[in-house]
Amino acid sequence: MDAYFDILQKSSLFHGVEKAGLSEMLGCLSPRRARYARGETILRAGDRTSALCLLLSGSALIVQEDYWGNRNILAALEPGELFAESFAAHPEEPLGVSAVAGAEAEVLFLELSRVLSTCPNACPHHRRIIENLVATLAEKNQRLSEKLRHVSQRTTREKLLSYLSAESRRRGRDAFDIPFNRQQLADYLSVDRSALSTELGRLKADGLLDFERNHFEMKR
């Protein structure tokens, strides 16, 4: 695990925990790791889990599919981010979404019961990770509310401007990369890919933004 200590320390779950304390915590939490190829399912809708997941490397997508296979991307994850924590809190309930590796990925699984229970060694950092987990859940709810604002816009143009404006504010700059390719962005915003590409071209022609692949620059 030494190779991933930098990623773990930057994660919201272990924020504020020093390397020595992190090593001690991992010994108490008994984590397990697994690797996944690009496109491989990490967690499947309908399954159950009692473990929260932390992405160590690669990327992952949280997706929701209906009965006919229509896909809606709820989130794109980068190394250090958590997922499935809400479902792990209710292990008797089936997952409502799937997690899929967007690129070759490695995932750390942590049993939520071990995270929430005071360990026998009385680690001084245990309370901190519980507080961090609560803060992470609050942030996830805010992100979901933000996505709902994007997709509730009436037109593809309005959805794009809502999403890109939010990304610019979050990163504090006009130029930034997004974690989606065109199809994934269309799935995230619940629009047709061709309509999305057409509208991006119009926004560029109107001088509102510039882009190259997944790199965007907002214009005034």
Please tell me which residue, 107 or 4, carries the higher pLDDT value: 107
Report the share of the chain in percent with pLDDT over 90. Answer: 70
Q: Please answer whether residues 61 and 32 qualify as being in contact, where contact means their C-beta atoms are separated by less than 8 angstroms.
A: no
Q: Helices (DSSP H) in 85-208: which residue ranges?
A: 85-88, 112-116, 126-151, 156-171, 182-189, 193-205
Q: In angstroms, rounded to a whole number, what is the distance separating the alpha carbons of residues 25 and 18?
A: 10
Mean of pLDDT values over 157-165: 97
**Phi-psi bin for 16: left (phi > 0), alpha (psi -120 to 50), beta?**
left
Burial tier of 119 (Cβ tally within 10 Å: 0-12, 13-18, 19+) = middle
Tokens of 170: 């979050």
pTM reported for the whole predicted model: 0.82
Contacts of 102 (CB under 8 A, 6+ apart): 38, 58, 59, 60, 61, 76, 77
pLDDT tens digits, 114-142: 888 766 665 667 788 888 999 999 988 89
Q: Please answer whether residues 56 and 108 qualify as being in contact, where contact means their C-beta atoms are separated by less than 8 angstroms.
A: yes
pLDDT of residue 122: 58
pLDDT tens digits, 31-76: 999 999 999 999 999 999 999 999 999 999 999 988 788 889 999 9
Q: In angstroms, rounded to a whole number, what is the distance separating the alpha carbons of residues 82 and 73?
A: 16
Q: Please answer whether residues 216 and 174 qualify as being in contact, where contact means their C-beta atoms are separated by less than 8 angstroms.
A: no
